[in-house]
Amino acid sequence: MNKRKQTALNAIKQILHNAGLRITPQRVVIYSAVLKCANHPCAEKIYKAISLENPNISFDTVNRTLISFAERGIFNIVEGYHTAKCYDHNTVEHNHYRCVKCGEIFDCWFKPYNKLATPDDIPENFAVKRKKVIIEGVCGKCKKIYS
């Protein structure tokens, strides 16, 4: 293992440790796979991505691991649309574009969306934690198909 990989491995271990999670080979593999994945993968996608090199990691472990990562804030779950849960390894505040045809998610880094006003009709005793913006539309790929 070269130096860069060693450093990355230590970083992962640190993150798991800080989250109060035991460091298992499965978790290291799953964490790395999500980081490596360009977009917002679901459990199935990660499972497929790792299973060739790690045929002994079960789907259940992938799913459970991703959920526990999300619960501890290591990843976020993308605001969903009744499809499989998708994970976002970038926990810096940002929003999402979403294609209503294919469900593809794109990041939106438009700053003003991070400082939206707080609404004036908050339900009784509702404690606001965060505000998210979803920009719905049709992506370039789907526009071609449907027009």
Q: Measured from the CB of residue 46, what is the shortest distance to a copy of itself in angstroms?
A: 16
First to last CA, the chain: 50
Residue with smaller CB distance to a copy of itself, 15 or 67:
67
Residue with smaller CB distance to DNA, 41 or 139:
41
How is 51-79 classified by DSSP, letter by letter? HTT-TTS-HHHHHHHHHHHHHTTSSEEPP
Query: Residue 73 interacts with a copy of itself (CB under 8 A)?
Result: no
Query: Residue 123 interacts with a copy of itself (CB under 8 A)?
Result: yes
User: From the centroid of its chain, how far is CA 87?
Assistant: 2
Residue with smaller CB distance to DNA, 22 or 115:
22
Residue 87 main-chain phi, psi, to 5 deg: -110, 150
d(CA 47, CA 118): 39
Query: Residue 79 interacts with a copy of itself (CB under 8 A)?
Result: yes
Give me the residues that bind DNA (CB under 7 A), please: 16-17, 21-27, 42-44, 56-61, 63-65, 67-68, 82-85
